[in-house]
Amino acid sequence: MSREQALVTTDWAEQHLDTPGLVFVEVDEDTTAYDGGHLPGAVRINWKTELQDAVRRDFVDRPGFEKLLSEKGISNDDTVVLYGGNNNWFAAYAYWYFKLYGHQAVKLIDGGRKRWELDGRPLVTEVPDRPETSYTAQEQDLAIRAFRDEVVAAIGTQNLIDVRSPDEFSGKLLAPAHLPQEAAQRGGHIPTALNVPWSKAANEDGTFKSDAELAELYAAVGLDDSKDTIAYCRIGERSSHSWFVLSELLGKKNVKNYDGSWTEYGSLIGVPVETGSGA
């Protein structure tokens, strides 16, 4: 995978809005942002109600994903072009999620909604009417998804990358600072994890930094390319952003996203937790 395959510019996106075979999909942290205006022709996927199981803490299962994409009018042959707000956190999460269920033709708009709005590009409120399809998903590709036991086993043996802010990493904050600081779990990080905040991979306008800058970012903290890598954050969306950088832009092998992330790990009994800067 490479930048050319995985990423498109807002300019490219605007020029290709009407191209058959492309489906633009908005996935937002703020699930109401779509209602206020979205890219012409774009459909919405709600990460909370449509990608997560309503009862268990897990993703919708394979038949559920097939039903969702069929209803959205997305076929197996379509190229899905994702974008969203808040620096593409949830769009990157959806990108990883589409790959998890085997949809390979997927791209992310560099900078997402923020870059699009700062560019002053058109937003519309009309909701497109796409005919239903009969989508077939693959079994989950667990080569890109990490579970808690392998995370515990990775302590001291694999690259663990904590992509939260330094204050969350140290345990000073329990959540990103746009949210009230209330949570039941312990603060801190997984021992031996490197703290590379997701934001270091992005520019202020939400676009990704250059490949050279990104390669230097991870080299500088001592990421060992001979080892497998697991990225995590609080609920797995910011780490999808860093997974995208490592796997899709830099082409590193054997990179997994731990979607359980700190909300799971920081609530486990018996696992080691480290506080402080870790430096």
Is the Cβ–Cβ distance between 72 and 45 less than 8 Å?
A: yes
Backbone angles phi, psi at 245, to 5 degrees: -65, -50
Question: Which residues are known catalytic residues?
Answer: 233
CB of 169 to other proteins, least distance (A): 10
In terms of CB distance, is 237 or 248 closer to other proteins?
Answer: 237
Backbone angles phi, psi at 150, to 5 degrees: -75, -25
Backbone angles phi, psi at 170, to 5 degrees: -75, -20
Cα–Cα distance for residue pair 82/104, rounded to 1 Å: 13
Name residues contacting other proteins, limited to 137-166 (CB under 8 A). Answer: 165-166
Name residues contacting other proteins, limited to 229-248 (CB under 8 A). Answer: 234-235, 237
Name residues contacting other proteins, limited to 24-63 (CB under 8 A). Answer: 29-31, 48, 52, 57
Told to check if 14 binds other proteins by CB under 8 A, we report: no
Q: What type of residue is 18?
A: D
Q: How many residues bind other proteins (CB under 8 A)?
A: 40
Rg (CA), the chain: 18
Cα–Cα distance for residue pair 34/30, rounded to 1 Å: 8
- Choices 1-9, 10-18, 65-73, 168-176 (CB under 8 A): range interacting with other proteins: 168-176
Is the Cβ–Cβ distance between 277 and 169 less than 8 Å?
A: yes
Cα–Cα distance for residue pair 69/57, rounded to 1 Å: 21
CB of 267 to other proteins, least distance (A): 7
Q: What type of residue is 24?
A: F
Q: Which of 1, 105, 183, 268 binds other proteins (CB under 8 A)?
A: 183
- Choices 59-67, 112-120, 139-147, 245-253 (CB under 8 A): range interacting with other proteins: 112-120
Is the Cβ–Cβ distance between 13 and 82 less than 8 Å?
A: no
Alpha carbon dihedral 252, 8, 208, 216, in 10-degree steps, equals: 40
CB of 183 to other proteins, least distance (A): 5
Q: Pattern 187-216, binding to other proteins, x per CB under 8 A?
A: ----------x-xx---xx-----------
Name residues contacting other proteins, limited to 78-107 (CB under 8 A). Answer: 85-87, 89
Cα–Cα distance for residue pair 223/203, rounded to 1 Å: 21
Q: Which of 104, 157, 181, 275 binds other proteins (CB under 8 A)?
A: 181
CB of 226 to other proteins, least distance (A): 29
Q: Which residues bind other proteins (CB under 8 A)?
A: 29-31, 48, 52, 57, 85-87, 89, 114, 117-118, 120, 165-167, 172-173, 175-185, 197, 199-200, 204-205, 234-235, 237, 263, 267
